[in-house]
Amino acid sequence: MKILFWVAASLVVYTYFGYPLVLWAFARVRSRRVLRKEIFPSVSIIIAARNEADKIRQKIDHTLALDYPSVQREILVASDASEDATDEIVKEYAARGVQLVRAPQRKGKEHVQGLAVSLAKGDILVFTDAATLLEPDALRRLVANFADPTVGAVSTEDLIVDAHGNPTAEGLYVKYEMWVRRLEGRFHSLVGLSGSCFAIRKELCSDWSASLASDFMGALRAARRGYRSIADPSALGRFVALASPQDEMRRKIRTFLRGITVLMANLDLVNPVRHGRFAFQLASHKLLRFLAPFLLLATLISSGLLNREPLYGLSFWAQTGLYLLAVAGKVVTPLQQGRVVRTAYFFTMVQWAMLTAWGRYALGHQQVTWEPSRRQGLSTSDRPTRTTSSVAQR
């Protein structure tokens, strides 16, 4: 029990704190720089949509207004057999160069993205969704990273707020994730891209999967071809967190199930002999992170069985207190206004969602069909803006 406790506890601490510390230390000694230069290759923006009539007009308007030469940009809206007015709204923009790519049958996000990829003419493909609004200069900043020949994919950084623009528990967690991603890019490469918006060289999409999560697969495809993936902290994608805890839990389970499925299909990339630094990062960030709920359970059970000894007893009651705070936050929602309760609740919710996702994976479930989370739209007054250049007028 003591061996189990120390192994499990050490791996949990390493996963959430040790790994970022290792990245930080190596980056301090030898940081990998990115050659950024203003370039304007042809770009295809692919907007995935499924029944997004309430958001698609705003998304298209903002995409058309992005600071990038219009002659070098095309916009494709990939509609996953939408059943509302989404397709009709998109057709209104045909004269402005917006193309509708409709899947006749609902087969999932990656399937309809693949249809758009087959029609895309750009050298750089940008994948985004209807709920995410980009800063006016985000596209130009993303593309500038491809001046570096070692870069295969670039991710935006997520900014998540509630309906009033305040940080949420998820927002705090995302800030942590964005920090880790920045360190990963300085060390070597990201192991996953932001599903809300990422850019990738078209040549890396030749083996497109119609069922595996495109954001995670994008980073893995780049690694297999000898490229690295990075995050650009100056390119922001902003969206509102889900108001319903039930909706948030369902979204988390779907996301983790998709991630686990991708990882298990690409376990060969964890081989350090063949994939070096990337294998280390994939094992540390994804494999151990997905195993964290089991490690936490092992830590709780082993410390509980050893609780007569002061050190293990202290650990057991500290863990118990964390989970009790999480339960209190779920039962009495206003308690989540406190940062400690909010963090405990969200951390525990993430672990439970991962356990549920593992259970579904073990039963052979796959998350192929897709229903976007019903997030509240952002008003123009709520969005931060930057002063833009005159690139769009060229």
Sequence spans of domains, the chain:
31-247
pLDDT band at 333 (very low <50, low <70, confident <90, very high): confident
Q: What percent of the chain has pLDDT over 70?
A: 88
pLDDT score of 382 more than 60? no
| Residue bearing tokens 């959430």 | 16
- The helix/strand/coil state of 210 is coil
The predicted structure's pLDDT at residue 74 = 96
Query: Do 325 and 340 meet the contact criterion of CB atoms below 8 Å apart?
Result: yes
Rounded distance between C-alpha atoms, residue 201 and residue 129, angstroms: 18
The predicted structure's pLDDT at residue 369 = 64
Query: Do 235 and 126 meet the contact criterion of CB atoms below 8 Å apart?
Result: no
The predicted structure's pLDDT at residue 373 = 57
| Residue bearing tokens 């230069």 | 37
pLDDT band at 163 (very low <50, low <70, confident <90, very high): low
The predicted structure's pLDDT at residue 385 = 43
Nearest CA to 70 out of 149, 139, 163, 164 is that of 139
Nearest CA to 368 out of 360, 376, 378 is that of 360
Rounded distance between C-alpha atoms, residue 256 and residue 298, angstroms: 20
Structurally, what CATH architecture does the domain formed by 31-247 represent?
Answer: Alpha-Beta Complex (3.90)
The predicted structure's pLDDT at residue 224 = 95
Rounded distance between C-alpha atoms, residue 49 and residue 52, angstroms: 6
pLDDT tens, residue by residue, 133-152: 888 999 999 999 999 999 99
The predicted structure's pLDDT at residue 384 = 41
Return the exposure string of 251-270: e unless at least 16 CB atoms fall within 10 Å of the residue's CB, then b: bbbbbbbbbbbbbeebeebb
The predicted structure's pLDDT at residue 356 = 96
pLDDT score of 158 more than 80? no
> Looking at the whole model, is its pTM more than 0.75?
yes
pLDDT score of 304 more than 80? yes
pLDDT score of 376 more than 80? no
pLDDT score of 393 more than 80? no
8-state DSSP, 225: T
The predicted structure's pLDDT at residue 339 = 82
The predicted structure's pLDDT at residue 392 = 35
pLDDT tens, residue by residue, 13-48: 999 999 999 999 998 888 899 999 999 999 999 999
pLDDT band at 383 (very low <50, low <70, confident <90, very high): very low
Rounded distance between C-alpha atoms, residue 253 and residue 289, angstroms: 14
The predicted structure's pLDDT at residue 78 = 96
Lowest mean pLDDT among 129-133, 174-178, 275-279: 174-178
The predicted structure's pLDDT at residue 381 = 45
Rounded distance between C-alpha atoms, residue 89 and residue 75, angstroms: 14
374 or 186: which carries more pLDDT confidence? 186
- The helix/strand/coil state of 124 is strand
Lowest mean pLDDT among 186-190, 356-360, 364-368: 364-368
